[in-house]
Amino acid sequence: MLQLPGFELENGKQVGLIDEIAIELTEGVEYRGTRSRDDVPEPFTRIVAAATTPFPLSARLEFETSTTRIGSWLGVQDVETGDEAFDETFIIKASDEEQVLDLLTPELRAALQRAPDTLAIDYEAGLITASWWGHETDRRMLDAVLRVVTMIGLAQPSEPRHRTRGPRTSRPSARTERRRRLREALQDSES
């Protein structure tokens, strides 16, 4: 495990502060997906942090993969930011679309683009959990995830308001259009 400067080792975890955000870094092994007799445990890296001002939000953000794409094809809705490059790369599920869009600033979206492509971030009322497959050996990659977690941890919820999205066209995103066509093709094949 890469040693973070100023962090202490406690019970196999590194713990410390970055910009007033309490952070815990761990590595371990676990099974991906469902366990079958062919599954083997895989290494992971995980960062857990506490936000300074928690959002009343439950959310999950992850890189789009074939597995996450299937859920979207089956009608599981995700939040789109209006940033087409970001929306093509990430799947976002959230209990409150307005809150998650407030959290996903352009700076945070840019930082996420530099993160490992197996990264998944869960946000539950101020508890941030960032996990990705593999024991991280690249300090720049670890720093990229720490930057993302710290940005989320320092974010301030805005006052409730009627949110108007940023620049959005009246047409659906390319991903939304692909999903619509796929759903139609699946429905046609079932008929």
Q: Which of 9, 31, 39, 45 is nearest to 137 (CA)?
A: 45
Give me the chain's average pLDDT, please. 83
Lowest mean pLDDT of 39-43, 108-112, 173-177, name the range. 173-177
Please work out, in degrees rounded to the nearest 5, the angle formed at the alpha carbon of residue 160 by the alpha carbons of 57 and 130. 25
Query: Distance (Å, rounded) from C-alpha 2 to C-alpha 27?
Result: 10
**pTM assigned to the model:** 0.77
Q: What is the dihedral of CA 100, 97, 126, 71, to 10 degrees?
A: -90
Per-residue confidence (pLDDT) for residue 1, from 0 to 100 = 79
Lowest mean pLDDT of 26-35, 36-45, 142-151, 156-165, name the range. 156-165
Say how many Å lie between the first and final Cα of the chain, rounded.
53
How many CA atoms within 13 Å lie on the side-chain side of 153? 24
The 10s digit of each residue's pLDDT in 66-123 is 555 555 544 445 888 999 889 888 989 999 999 999 999 999 999 999 999 999 999 9
Q: Please, are residues 20 and 28 in contact by the beta-carbon 8 Å criterion? A: no
Domain spans of the chain, in order of start: 8-190
Please work out, in degrees rounded to the nearest 5, the angle formed at the alpha carbon of residue 29 by the alpha carbons of 23 and 31. 120
